[in-house]
């Protein structure tokens, strides 16, 4: 069963030092994405033994981007190409923002068993408003995962203020 924690229950104390470092790396990569002219999102997949096996920024902006190429989807797809299903089940995705419904589906179908995210969908909506390039769903990833047939642990939101920096002034 999916871990159901209210957003306030996801505190930085729930993370190991390695978890915190991976989450901070996802946040750092979201700034890199922005600096490259892309939406400020990033994700990485870490194997059960702690190795980063995939990382990705967002690549959904036209003209060369693809609207389905969110950072989380790109990272889990890359990880699924190098990890066995059993290894994917022991992996964690760290992401600068809560996975959207599409990315939550990708996490589910690739077998990831744990998601740690920084910026909540609610806080992201406050930053993006009704910007046409980020029409957010009001659908927390926990709700998507709760409809599935296997357990996915969710930890977050965490470090929201740090994650919000890459979005400041971007969605105007």
Whether omega for the bond prior to residue 29 falls within 30 degrees of 0, making it cis, is no
- Among this protein's residues, is 162 annotated catalytic? no
DSSP string, 85-128: HHHHHT-EEEEEE---HHHHHHHHHHT--EEEEEE-HHHHHHHH
In angstroms, the CA 129 to CA 78 distance is 31
Residues 13, 25, 36, 72: which is the catalytic one?
72
> Would residue 169 be called left, alpha or beta, if left means φ above 0 and alpha means ψ between -120 and 50 degrees?
left
Q: Which residues are catalytic?
A: 72
């Amino acid at each position: 069963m999916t871990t159901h924690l209210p957003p306030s229950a996801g505190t930085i104390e729930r993370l190991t030092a390695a978890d915190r470092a991976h989450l901070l790396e996802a946040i750092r990569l979201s700034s890199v994405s922005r600096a490259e002219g892309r939406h400020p999102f990033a994700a990485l997949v870490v194997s059960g033994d702690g190795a980063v096996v995939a990382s990705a920024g967002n690549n959904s902006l036209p003209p060369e981007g693809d609207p389905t190429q969110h950072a989380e989807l790109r990272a889990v797809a890359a990880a699924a190409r190098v990890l066995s299903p059993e290894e994917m089940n022991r992996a964690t995705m760290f992401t600068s923002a809560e996975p959207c419904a599409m990315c939550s589906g990708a996490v589910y179908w690739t077998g990831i068993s744990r998601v740690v995210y920084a910026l909540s969908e609610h806080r992201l909506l406050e930053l993006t408003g009704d910007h046409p390039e980020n029409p957010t769903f009001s659908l927390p990833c926990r709700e998507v995962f709760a409809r599935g047939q296997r357990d996915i642990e969710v930890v977050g939101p965490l470090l929201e203020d740090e994650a919000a920096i890459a979005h400041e002034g971007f969605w105007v």
